[in-house]
Structure 1
Amino acid sequence: MLKQRIITALIIIPIVWCGLFLLDGSIFALFIGLVITLGAWEWAGLAGLNACLLRVIYVAIVATLLFLMHVLSNIIVPWILCIAVLWWALAIFLVLTYPRTSNYWSSLATKLVIGLLILLPVSQGLAELKNAPLGNWLIMAVMVLVWSADIGAYFSGLAFGKRKLAPAVSPSKSWEGVYGGLALTLLITLIVGIMRDWSLKEILLALSIAVVAVFISIVGDLTESMFKRQAGIKDSSNLLPGHGGVLDRIDSLTAAIPIFAACLWMIAS
């Protein structure tokens, strides 16, 4: 399993990094769209669409919506980001009240719509970050925040974890892990701010955004875990040998990217 994970990572990581940081414009949107449509294929199965034709139709709908969002991006940016904020606020409630409230979203139609709410804003968020000044650095920033939160949470939870974060959804996660992940991301943000000679106001603003991004990335992770638990599966698919599926790799980012972009958009407006 470890050998398989390493081989897959060595193949996937260069492709992802080249796609994120070397591509621009419509080619960048096409690359992101490919990743999102793969996630849509997995989500269709997770939601309960077992027939191949129905899953293809769902993927085609997602691809069409991604194309329309790309064409109309200058008009719909605030709307898509606003929808993302509202959805992830609702997701917090759903995770905290699972399984008591699961009957409200357990129907196939509802889960398919939720898939759109999870997947579509990611492309808009990435496009917004890419088109901003220092776009590649902003994309890097949100990824570093999420990855450092995961690393900090893992080691902190391993060493100190006692109080369960959401035992009905993910029994292994603890509040101590959350605090450890948050501490590491805040430390990294502070170091970057000092090295780049940010003002006190800029540092405090960056720390605030980091807190929001970290907490919402955890919600993204827990949300996918909630739907997988409801479906009785461990991984969203086996598209990435040794790593599960695309959704398993980007679950935290599906929440963090649009919310991070929304924070920056509100600051710039």
Structure 2
Amino acid sequence: MLKERVISAVIGIPLIIGVLYLGGIWWEIFFLFIGIIGLFEIYRMMKEKGLKPLWIPGYLLMLICFWQSKMDYGDMIFSLTLVLIITIILSVIAFPRIKFDDAALSFWGAIYIGILLGYALKIGHHFEHSFIIMLLTFVLTWCTDIGGYIFGKRWGKHKMTPVLSPKKTWEGAAGGVFLCVLAAWVFSKLTPYYSWHYGYVLVLGFLASIMAQLGDLFASSIKRYFGVKDAGHIIPGHGGVLDRFDSFMLVLPVVYYFFAFWVLQGK
């Protein structure tokens, strides 16, 4: 398992960095691929639990949420209304084969993935040096994971959420925050593009790490609900897309609003 995880990281990390550096259409294709596979994993778990996902309305809703930054308000409302009408028609025609909980979970999965990954496009569209900002988002996520593993392995004694994730400890959580703050500080020293106060570094590292850990725990709650260990198997040693990008998706809005409201306005 460890060997597979290392190999996947050695191949995957340079690939991600390369796609981010290319930017443009490659950036959009990459995150759209993540969204499509992630929603597929949720719908597959729904099927295994005996539910019936609404594939077409769900994917349409995910795409609307994902591309919201490219749509004006009127087009977005029209598109959402169209998806809602399609869902109502399907629910009426196929009742009782398709039930309310099928539609509710299908929509929830689409909104969860579409809105959060949509912040990746917002970062690409709204900021100069978007490659550096997105790279920072990944680094903060990875450092939270690494810090949590190292500190939890070495000093972890007090269980944080024994029902959701028995191996996670408060010591590991503190280690994730520490390494994430350290990574934000190193970034602030290495990049010449933005002027940072030390308070900014502390806030960004702390909030990003907390959200990364919440994203991981929330994904664990989803898997617990559906009764599976991993959301998928597309990444050897790591599971599915949701298993690897659950934390990252919740760090995205933190980084976006941090640069939108704090750094750029105070520059």
TM range (shorter): 0.7 to 0.9
Assess if the C-alpha contact under 8 Å between 1:37 and 1:59 holds in 2.
Answer: no
Assess if the C-alpha contact under 8 Å between 1:160 and 1:176 holds in 2.
Answer: yes
Aligned to 1:190: 185
Moved more, 234-243 or 44-53: 44-53
Distance 1:189 1:30, change over 3 A: closer
Assess if the C-alpha contact under 8 Å between 2:55 and 2:106 holds in 1.
Answer: no
Answer yes or no: is 1:153 the counterpart of 2:145: no
Aligned to 1:16: 16
- Shift, 1:107, TM fit: 4.0
- Shift, 1:54, TM fit: 4.6
For the residues of structure 1 that align with 2:189 and 2:27, how far apart are their CA atoms?
A: 32
Any idea what the Cα deviations from partners look like across 1:90-131, whole Å, max 9, x if unmatched? xxxxxxxxxxxxxxxx94443333323321123321122223
Aligned to 2:45: 46
Aligned to 1:128: 122
Aligned to 1:96: none
For the residues of structure 1 that align with 2:193 and 2:9, how far apart are their CA atoms?
A: 35
Assess if the C-alpha contact under 8 Å between 2:46 and 2:52 holds in 1.
Answer: no
Distance 1:143 1:201, change over 3 A: closer
SS of 1:183 mapped into structure 2: helix
Assess if the C-alpha contact under 8 Å between 1:170 and 1:225 holds in 2.
Answer: yes
**Percent identity between the two aligned chains:** 26
Aligned to 2:34: 35
Answer yes or no: is 1:239 the counterpart of 2:243: no
For the residues of structure 2 that align with 1:210 and 1:44, how far apart are their CA atoms?
A: 33
For the residues of structure 1 that align with 2:167 and 2:136, how far apart are their CA atoms?
A: 27
Structure 2 gap segments, 5+ residues each: 75-99
Question: Mapping of 1:113-124 within 5 angstroms?
Answer: 113-124=107-118
Question: Mapping of 1:80-229 within 5 angstroms?
Answer: 107-131=101-125, 132-195=127-190, 202-229=197-224
Report the AA paired with residue 126 of structure 1.
A
Assess if the C-alpha contact under 8 Å between 2:19 and 2:30 holds in 1.
Answer: yes
Any idea what the Cα deviations from partners look like across 1:199-235, whole Å, max 9, x if unmatched? 9962211220221111011000000101101111001
Tell me: higher relative CO, structure 1 or 2? Use CA pairs within 8 A at least 6 residues apart. Answer: 1
Any idea what the Cα deviations from partners look like across 1:26-45, whole Å, max 9, x if unmatched? 44223311211111100112
Distance 1:2 1:160, change over 3 A: closer
For the residues of structure 2 that align with 1:196 and 1:183, how far apart are their CA atoms?
A: 20
TM-score, length of structure 1 as denominator length = 0.76
Assess if the C-alpha contact under 8 Å between 2:66 and 2:115 holds in 1.
Answer: no
Assess if the C-alpha contact under 8 Å between 1:236 and 1:247 holds in 2.
Answer: yes
Any idea what the Cα deviations from partners look like across 1:149-176, whole Å, max 9, x if unmatched? 1111111111111221111111111111
Distance 1:60 1:143, change over 3 A: same
- Shift, 1:75, TM fit: 5.7
Aligned to 2:56: 57
Bigger radius of gyration, 1 or 2? 2
Task: Give the number of aligned pairs.
Answer: 238
Q: What RMSD, in angstroms, separates the aligned Cα atoms of the two structures?
A: 3.1
